[in-house]
A = this chain, B = another copy of it.
């Protein structure tokens, strides 16, 4: 079955909305062999088999756990099942990749991190944006100090659809922004609040506004909605030296760095603060990169092969789950 000695054997569980993207990417990577696709829905199995005849399909997850050839399991099932499926794989000695958010609760996330540590296997979570070229480029700008201190970040992630049946818009969309923010800033928020509303179905919030306060002083805000006339994927990062706009809907100028700022003149004595506004060039750096999903998959395989800690490891997954939980709790309190 193995293509070559270095090729890792992986199994995919969950072939719904996202699973096919994982399968396609892992099929194209020479360092991996996808042996199994597991899904409880027979039509999904048939779809996988039709696209990739070389893959074995099953509805019985234990087929995978029992298979000694399987090195790693990719979990792309509904969120509520992430913990149990991942723990079972870990207990069977498999490395595990879990889609975001890593688990449904913080308690589950902590258990998962501990299980992986106990068994010495790799645990990685699919915070895909952390592998996209614009997000990496902005991370470099922030971490290098080119933007100065980060005053605040404001993010819009809104469009029309797709309503999830069982989780809120926070659980669906905020993992993107949480993982991006924590990656950029290198810290977890000390305060998370949220306000939202279930417009279409009152029990499932489909619009939410989340605010974060970080120990460094940085504040952040995100607008999340499945109900919007326009699609926005835009983040403003305002630093003490420079500012930038990241617009993921733009095909060319995804990132624009503004050499703008405020100069403050300290009062000598009894005087007033004096401010002046600085307006400089606007630069849209050329950013190119491979498909983030492909980069993510190769990173997972490399971590498994070489025993490295993934960039988006279990602790990263835990941080995002904790932020979601805090936002959801805050949102319920305000209803």
Q: A interface vs B, CB < 8 Å? A: 151-152, 154, 158, 160-161, 163, 165, 191, 193, 195-197, 199-201, 207, 209, 211, 213, 217, 219, 221, 223, 225, 227-230, 236, 238, 240, 243-245, 252-253, 256, 258-260, 262, 264, 272-273, 275, 277, 279-286, 288, 334
Contact = CB atoms under 8 A, between A and B. Distances in A.
Contacts of A243: 227-229
Nearest to A243: B229
Given A213-B334, A229-B236, A275-B200, A195 B219 contact: yes
Given A191-B334, A211-B209, A283-B282, A228 B238 contact: yes
The 10 closest A-B pairs by CB, nearest first: A229-B243, A229-B258, A151-B199, A282-B284, A195-B211, A209-B221, A197-B219, A280-B286, A161-B277, A152-B207
A284 B227 CA distance: 20
B281 A284 contact: yes
A127 to B, nearest CB: 24
- Among A262, A264, A281, A334, the one with the most B-chain Cβ atoms within 10 Å of its Cβ is A262
Contacts of A196: 219
Contacts of A225: 152, 154, 238
Given A211-B209, A277-B161, A284-B282, A228 B217 contact: no
Contacts of A277: 160-161
18 contacts: A151-B197, A151-B227, A152-B197, A152-B199, A152-B225, A152-B227, A154-B223, A163-B275, A165-B272, A197-B217, A199-B240, A200-B275, A227-B238, A228-B243, A229-B243, A229-B245, A282-B284, A282-B286
Contacts of A259: 286
Contacts of A229: 236, 238, 243-245, 256, 258, 260
A261 to B, nearest CB: 9
Nearest to A242: B229
B260 A160 contact: yes
A262 to B, nearest CB: 5
Nearest to A285: B281
Nearest to A165: B272
A193 B195 contact: yes
- Among A163, A211, A256, the one with the most B-chain Cβ atoms within 10 Å of its Cβ is A211
